A and B are shown apart, each in its own frame.
Chain A
Amino acid sequence: MEAATTSAPAAAPPAKKKVTDRAKAERKLAWMLCAPAVIAMIVVTGYPIAYAFYLSLQKFDLRFPDDKEFVGLANYGDVLTSSTWWTDVFTTLIITVVSVAIELVLGMAIALVMHRAIFGRGPVRAAILIPYGIITVVAAFAWKFAFDPTSGFVAGLPLISDDAQPLNTKNGSLMVIVLAEVWKTTPFMALLLLAGLALVPDELHEAAKVDGASVTQRFFRITLPLMKPAILVALLFRTLDAFRIFDNVYIIQPGGALGTETVSILGYNVLINRGNLGLGSAISILIFLCVILIAVFFVRVLGTSTAQQRGEA
């Protein structure tokens, strides 16, 4: 007995080692199974990012191939000291904050409807998802035409002045852009929130009801706190998307005219229109860094966890 008990811990290390060998083999196998995906990721994302960073350190204009030279961080200095960049960052942030805020409220309402829908659940969910299935460029054109004073129906609506030309003013254009963005991506928000809503146990609601809690109290005291992880993930995804907004602006106010230029439009103008690869790449890398900052803010400061969301859903 004694020998057996003492031999047990003694036997443990070799046994553990044995497991380690096996684990090693398994880990190796896992790596090999992952390898194609990892290699694909490196090729399609790692390489372009690294190449963009390399380009951003050079003075390199497509039209002046002979003037190519290494300039270090000079391009970043140019961008960060220009008022254009900061104006565009500000415009982008306004579009992001306003559209994501509206989407959150609307998305929550729609999620509650989808969650509570008793009959026709499938059709209701499908109908709500339609805008998300429409190509952004097509949707943007639809909104642009709707607000056009000559071809659109909006100017003909009651309560709206026939002379209203929202696309002729900065604020009007931003409003139409936010509207198009909200219309298009609210379903996505609603879907993510719906997943979170499904996690709230009905028993809690029933118990609260018995205790005399009102509908509002139950929503703010039970539903919202339990949904916090889902809400944060939804906000994170949408904020990252909204910050990179391009197509809506490109269609609704071509070239980012009337002060609607966002950082992505600026990057496009410099990179594609002006053919300035060095400066344009610096802008791209800066946008990339902004996106990382937003993600870090959500994960570290607000404690968003995508794993939690995945695990529970």
Chain B
Amino acid sequence: MVVAAATLAACGSSEGGSGARAINWYVFNEPGGAYDAAVDDCNKQANGRYNINYVKLPTDANQQRELIVRRLAAEDESIDLVGMDVIWTAELAEAGWILPWEGERRTVAEKDKLEGPLKTVEYKDKVYGIPFTSNTQLLWYRKDRVDTPPDDFTWDEMIDDAVDKGTAVEVQARQYEGLTVWINSLIAGAGGQIVDQAGNVKVDDSAKRAAEVESKLAKSPAAPPGMSTNAEDQARQGFESGRSDYQVNYPFVYPSAAAVGEDFQKNMGWARYPRTDKDEPSRPPLGGINIGVSSFSNKPDLAFDAAECLANEKHQAIAAEKGGLPPTTESVYETEQVKKAYPFADLLRESIEAAAPRPVTPAYSDISLAIQKTFHPPESVDPDGIVDKLRDRMEKAAQGKIF
């Protein structure tokens, strides 16, 4: 009976609460406890005015999106706040599923935020969320095995060096969003873009450059085992196993390295994301979570208040410390908490500021799927035909056709 009651209670909380003051926040399940801490803190501060329920979504980004889209399309009133991946803004805003932040609210949302994360909440000159956490990738390397990468280190140099030393380069090249992240950064690093400001498909020779880098790595001995099915975690494991001396990945790999062994973390160096072209600065990936208010919420005012609380500086610092999620507010990088959690805090901030956002378009998921299909599997990518192939798929994607 006790077990049954506990299970029922658990079900109840995961489905979100009801009542005049309940605010249901649908966001991914953050394992470090940072979101739990933010929710508890805000509820305490609200002093009964509202009560946030943390409804945990699956860890897989695609599944999170599918669930949110399905519920919002059905005008589900039980969602008040959405923890939005940075790439969802245009899609949810265009469909009219999330409310714009106007006037005073907009000022709060934009206050002291870094340029990159701020761009990810904007759509058609309006702001559709408050930036909460950000994320970017760094180049991680083995200090005991390879030289310190120079500032203008390129993918080509890295691959050549790995081949020389008989080691590998860890990347994310499974057919999933992570592949889009990599390709987008390679394209932006070659001075190109996939979709322009007006939302039109722009595919040029930078896509060919991206394909050249991808194909070079995939066909070289520096390609890690399972490259075409590796995601972030397989890359981390590969680096920790010692099979590779380079890896591009999010900062979560740093705390994880401490668990490998005494010296492992000490021997782990960090540098800015590698360049696609020698004379173009690199454009690291940009990730993160923004908080949006659902158009179908019965209490939007309370929801806006709750979102402002959740995304405040204190909670960003907690998210950085406990969850390894970099802040979106500039000043938070100066706090002791963040400096202690990230010895590389300055590089992180520089990377986020220089990052290449992924295309801002309501058809993002179609575009991303088209990129994934075109650039996969990595060893079969043909740089010569890629521009036409990608353009054809992107146009079909934008027209809502099959590709």
Contacts and interface: CB of A to CB of B under 8 A. Distances in A.
A270 interface: yes
B89 to A, nearest CB: 12
Interface in B1-34: none
Contacts of A278: 400
Interface in B375-401: 376-377, 400-401
Contacts, number: 84
Contacts of B369: 269, 273-274
Given A65-B95, A258-B228, A270 B376 contact: no
A78 interface: yes
Given A82-B401, A84-B402, A274-B369, A255 B176 contact: yes
A85 B62 CA distance: 22
Contacts of A62: 69, 73, 95
Interface string A167-179: 1101000000000
B174 interface: yes
B96 interface: yes
Interface centre among A63, A257, A269, A275 (most CB of B within 10 A): A63
A313 to B, nearest CB: 42
Contacts of B400: 59, 61, 64, 276, 278-279
A271 B310 CA distance: 33
B401 A78 contact: yes
B402 A168 contact: no
Interface in A234-257: 254-255, 257
A255 B401 CA distance: 18
Contacts of A61: 400
B100 interface: no
A257 B175 contact: yes
Interface in A57-100: 59, 61-65, 78-79, 82, 84-85
B300 interface: no
Interface centre among B225, B241, B400, B401 (most CB of A within 10 A): B400
B112 interface: no
Contacts of A32: none
A275 B69 contact: yes
A282 B94 CA distance: 25
Contacts of A63: 69, 91, 94-95, 362-363
Interface in B177-225: 225
A272 interface: yes
A306 interface: no
Interface in B70-106: 70, 73, 91, 94-96
B401 A272 contact: no
A270 B176 contact: no
Contact of A279 (B62, B94, B401): B401
Nearest to B95: A63
Interface in A156-205: 163, 165, 167-168, 170
Contacts of A269: 369
A149 interface: yes
Nearest to B179: A257
Given A63-B362, A257-B376, A275 B73 contact: yes
Contacts of B377: 168, 170, 257-258
B70 to A, nearest CB: 8
A59 B362 CA distance: 16
Contacts of B227: 168
A239 B305 CA distance: 56
A150 interface: yes
Given A82-B403, A258-B377, A273-B62, A168 B69 contact: no
Given A63-B91, A273-B66, A276-B400, A257 B174 contact: yes
B276 interface: no
Nearest to A275: B69
Given A63-B363, A64-B94, A149 B225 contact: yes
A54 to B, nearest CB: 17
A89 B83 CA distance: 38
B228 A82 contact: no
B96 A65 contact: yes
B365 interface: yes
Interface string B354-370: 00000000110110010
A276 B399 CA distance: 11
A156 to B, nearest CB: 14
B223 to A, nearest CB: 10
A250 B227 CA distance: 19
A259 to B, nearest CB: 8
Interface centre among A266, A269, A283 (most CB of B within 10 A): A269
B53 to A, nearest CB: 26
Interface string A141-163: 00000001110000000000001
Nearest to A173: B229
B298 interface: no
B237 interface: yes
A78 B397 CA distance: 12
Contacts of B66: 272-273
A115 B31 CA distance: 53
A63 B403 CA distance: 18
15 contacts: A61-B400, A63-B95, A64-B94, A64-B95, A65-B96, A82-B401, A149-B226, A150-B225, A150-B241, A167-B229, A255-B176, A255-B372, A257-B175, A276-B400, A283-B402
Interface of B: 62, 66, 69-70, 73, 91, 94-96, 174-176, 225-229, 234, 237, 241, 362-363, 365-366, 369, 372, 376-377, 400-403
Nearest first, the 3 A-B pairs at minimum CB distance are A257-B175, A82-B402, A62-B73
Given A168-B225, A273-B365, 15 more contacts: A62-B73, A62-B95, A63-B95, A65-B95, A65-B96, A78-B402, A82-B401, A85-B402, A148-B226, A150-B237, A257-B175, A257-B176, A273-B62, A274-B365, A279-B402
